[in-house]
Structure 1
Amino acid sequence: MRESRLELWGALSLCVVCLLVGIPVLLEQLTGGAPTTGPAWLWWACYLGYLGTLGLAFTRWPLARRHPAPMVSAFGLCAVGTVLLAPRAGWTAILLVVVAAIAAHLVSRRATLLLIAGNSAVVALVATINSGAPLDAALSALIYATLQACAVWAVWSQLRETAATERLAVANTELRAATALLAESSRSAERLRIARELHDLVGHQLTALVLELEVASHRDGQAVTAHVLRARRLTKDLLGDVRTAVGELRGRAVPLRAALAELVADLPRPRVHLAVDEDVEPDEAAAATLIRCTQEVVTNAIRHSEAENLWIRIARTGAGTITLRAHDDGRGAPLVRTGNGLTGLRERVEQLGGAVSFDGRSGFQVEATVPVP
């Protein structure tokens, strides 16, 4: 089961718990009781406002991340109102634990600890209203403070693990890109060395042999002449084969598809959908640029986009260029600020005479065009 599926089930379970908390109040009202200390409509307004804020936080999480203070404030006030207006309703104080857990995701640690202290004071006040015993109030505050602390600690641990996983994924992507470039550089150097050896040694020797046979063909003897002519023809064919092999070694296409598939394999998030057209055959410089561009796109998606999916398509156009198009389903950005990574991506592409553009209005999109021979 993927991590996103687990997060979905966790969010649904939390919503179910918050819904169950309000059932005792509803049942007591239906049986003619008065579970609230104030107007019932006010309690329901706070409770429904709490549920609405919780649903907004889960469905519009990027919005909550951009505006954490209003979200946590509204969430906390609705929860406090729900608890204080129904002090004898049973488990409504559980709502405060959920508030602390959400706050641990959105606000600073200091603000979260202050929120835990305030929530514990609210629990102590409710216990005082119910029993009037200071010991009961202190024990209730301690229990719920511990519950909040455990929830917050679990959230912080999960955030640390997520950050470590992202750093590991970024480092793994960079390592795979470096490995792919190093392997291709080694293969290119080896092909060039073999090509030079073939040309300098075998090629020169065969050329000398052709000259010797050319001289022999002008000497006396019909039988000797026929064999010499046949040998000369075979030697010329062999020399042509050597030159063809040298040309193939020098101009062999880089295995770009395999390198990129290895680069994006086994990423925890986002899920990368890679497509490389069959007719894409870049030279070494273009392949290195495309590998580095893909690495930066993947790294940027891991670190900043909060995306579930990333689509990368590399195709050859009719104008003699290779185009890399990438987009994700993350939060995007109204104004794209190019940091060191995106600036380096632009410089690599422009160094080859290409162009690159960025768009963050719907997810994050990158389009890079690289000319090829």
Structure 2
Amino acid sequence: MFVVSVVAGGPVLVGAADAVIPRALWITLFVVFIAAVLVAGGSGRPRWARHGAFAAAVVAAWVVVVAAEHWNLLPILLVIVAAMSVHVVPPWAGFVVVGLNTVVLAVSAAWRGLDAPETALGIGFYVLIQAATLLSSLATMREQKMRRELAEAHVGLQAASVLLSESARTAERLRISRELHDLMGHQLTVLTLELEAARHRDGERAREHVERADRVARDLLGDVRATVGRLRTESSDLTKALRQVVRDLPGLEVSIEVAPEVRAGEEQVAALVRAVQEIVTNTIRHAGARELWIEVASDGDAVRLTAVDDGRGAADPVLGNGLRGLAERFEALGGEVSVDGRRGFRVTAEVPAS
């Protein structure tokens, strides 16, 4: 928009065309228009500042167009404010701006005494361009919104799939451990008791064989119990789980690195999966980022997740419902969550290792 605006105002800026007001004042108003457009188009600024800048851009565009001795391409400035209106004000307000722009052109033409048929044709042409750019901008915004919502739904479904798979694997491990304990554990315990009784019978050689069998049976029972314990606490493949959450994610490049020494139990894995889901969703919705880096590492007796994006960040970040819920989830496990928006947006989440 900056280049188009400069091209449209170029003849007056370089002195090739005259203005009906002092040229220095006209150039000042033109600079005000450019600055107001830049401020209004900045998504990271407060709403009141963007609305005020947009109003200033509209008024400055009117004055710049009316104050030029010849329109040339200056009505393009009106097209610019119409196009950017959908990013600042509701759609109905954008159509109001288009109507007011048309009135300004008509009044300016009448004041100049321009040929009515030719002027009407020119004004109609600019009305059509304004309406077309406004509708095009609306369609683009709606498409972007739908793509964001689709990406958020995709992340949510992937996270739910990971947690469902983890739950199914946990249930299967518990089922196997119960069967091992109920069947083999019981049988080996009976065998140990029988051998213990046989050990007290007569016969030295029989006693030696019985004692060796007793040791083997006890060792086997210990192995079974150890296996049952491992089945109950076996760690999931955390790297695979987290990468599945962000797999085939449109519009955002996500890099996930998990240190090989990280060990996480079922509750920790669920918390980390939910953390990645919330962080990715938050990045898509608010950050305007292209890349997101997530790292999971061990930090003493804790597992630390660090996520940082290349988006616009926030000088004084305020936690929304999602991040507050995430913090509560980690605090319930004895951990904590912190954020920093000074360079991109950084989220650090820690939870005690399993």
TM range (shorter): 0.7 to 0.9
Query: Over residues 330-372 of structure 1, what are the superposed CA-to-partner deviations in whole Å (9 max), with x where a residue is unaligned?
Result: 3425251x44323322221221222333444554443332123
Distance (whole Å) between structure 2 residues aligned to residue 105 and residue 146 of structure 1: 20
Distance (whole Å) between structure 1 residues aligned to residue 279 and residue 166 of structure 2: 21
Distance (whole Å) between structure 1 residues aligned to residue 317 and residue 205 of structure 2: 84
Q: Alpha-carbon deviation of 1:304?
A: 2.7
Q: Is the 8 A contact 1:315 1:323 kept in 2?
A: yes
Distance (whole Å) between structure 2 residues aligned to residue 169 and residue 97 of structure 1: 32
The aligned counterpart of 1:343 is: 324
Which residue, out of 76, 79, 83, partners 1:101? 83
Q: Is the 8 A contact 2:40 2:50 kept in 1?
A: no
Distance 1:346 1:55, change over 3 A: closer
Q: Is the 8 A contact 2:61 2:77 kept in 1?
A: yes
TM-score (norm 1): 0.83
The aligned counterpart of 2:123 is: 141
Distance (whole Å) between structure 2 residues aligned to residue 324 and residue 172 of structure 1: 22
1:111-126 aligned at under 5 Å gives the runs 111-126=93-108
Q: Alpha-carbon deviation of 1:205?
A: 1.3
Which residue, out of 231, 236, 245, partners 1:249? 231
SS class of match (1:315)? strand
Q: Is the 8 A contact 1:88 1:130 kept in 2?
A: no
The aligned counterpart of 1:5 is: none
Distance (whole Å) between structure 2 residues aligned to residue 335 and residue 226 of structure 1: 74
Q: Is the 8 A contact 1:87 1:129 kept in 2?
A: no
Distance (whole Å) between structure 1 residues aligned to residue 184 and residue 100 of structure 2: 86
Which residue, out of 31, 44, 52, partners 1:48? 31
The aligned counterpart of 1:19 is: 6
Q: Alpha-carbon deviation of 1:214?
A: 4.5
Distance (whole Å) between structure 2 residues aligned to residue 343 and residue 64 of structure 1: 23
Q: Alpha-carbon deviation of 1:222?
A: 7.2
The aligned counterpart of 2:272 is: 290
Q: Is the 8 A contact 2:13 2:27 kept in 1?
A: no
Q: Alpha-carbon deviation of 1:131?
A: 5.8
Distance (whole Å) between structure 2 residues aligned to residue 266 and residue 80 of structure 1: 47
Q: Alpha-carbon deviation of 1:65?
A: 5.1
Amino acid at match of 1:154: S
1:62-211 aligned at under 5 Å gives the runs 62-63=44-45, 67-128=49-110, 132-211=114-193
Distance (whole Å) between structure 1 residues aligned to residue 22 and residue 312 of structure 2: 43
Distance (whole Å) between structure 2 residues aligned to residue 335 and residue 190 of structure 1: 42
Distance (whole Å) between structure 2 residues aligned to residue 64 and residue 152 of structure 1: 23
Distance 1:74 1:131, change over 3 A: same
Q: Alpha-carbon deviation of 1:37?
A: 2.9
Q: Is the 8 A contact 1:333 1:361 kept in 2?
A: yes
Q: Is the 8 A contact 1:177 1:295 kept in 2?
A: yes
Distance (whole Å) between structure 1 residues aligned to residue 8 and residue 320 of structure 2: 47
Distance (whole Å) between structure 1 residues aligned to residue 340 and residue 306 of structure 2: 11
Query: Is 1:37–2:24 an aligned residue pair?
Result: no
Query: Over residues 100-119 of structure 1, what are the superposed CA-to-partner deviations in whole Å (9 max), with x where a residue is unaligned?
Result: 11121111222211111111
Amino-acid identity (%): 42
Structure 2 residue runs without a partner (length 5+):
none
Q: Is the 8 A contact 1:274 1:312 kept in 2?
A: yes
SS class of match (1:313)? strand
Q: Is the 8 A contact 1:64 1:71 kept in 2?
A: no
Which residue, out of 356, 360, 372, partners 2:337? 356
The aligned counterpart of 1:303 is: 285
Q: Which has the higher mean CA deviation after the structures are superposed, 169-178 or 180-189? A: 169-178
Query: Over residues 5-39 of structure 1, what are the superposed CA-to-partner deviations in whole Å (9 max), with x where a residue is unaligned?
Result: xxxxxxxxx43333332344467x35xxx543333
TM-score (norm 2): 0.87
Distance 1:331 1:139, change over 3 A: farther
Amino acid at match of 2:114: G
Query: Over residues 267-290 of structure 1, what are the superposed CA-to-partner deviations in whole Å (9 max), with x where a residue is unaligned?
Result: 334433333222221111122122
User: What is the aligned-residue RMSD (CA, Å)?
Assistant: 2.9
Q: Alpha-carbon deviation of 1:249?
A: 0.7
Distance 1:196 1:263, change over 3 A: same
Amino acid at match of 1:239: L
The aligned counterpart of 1:371 is: 352
Query: Over residues 237-271 of structure 1, what are the superposed CA-to-partner deviations in whole Å (9 max), with x where a residue is unaligned?
Result: 43333223212211211222211111123333443
Distance (whole Å) between structure 2 residues aligned to residue 342 and residue 368 of structure 1: 11
SS class of match (2:312)? coil
Q: Alpha-carbon deviation of 1:72?
A: 0.9
Q: Alpha-carbon deviation of 1:166?
A: 1.5
Query: Over residues 178-204 of structure 1, what are the superposed CA-to-partner deviations in whole Å (9 max), with x where a residue is unaligned?
Result: 211111111111101101111110122
Amino acid at match of 2:31: L
Query: Over residues 282-331 of structure 1, what are the superposed CA-to-partner deviations in whole Å (9 max), with x where a residue is unaligned?
Result: 1111221222222222222222333344333322211x122233344334
Distance (whole Å) between structure 2 residues aligned to residue 185 and residue 136 of structure 1: 73
Q: Alpha-carbon deviation of 1:155?
A: 1.0
Distance (whole Å) between structure 2 residues aligned to residue 67 and residue 230 of structure 1: 86
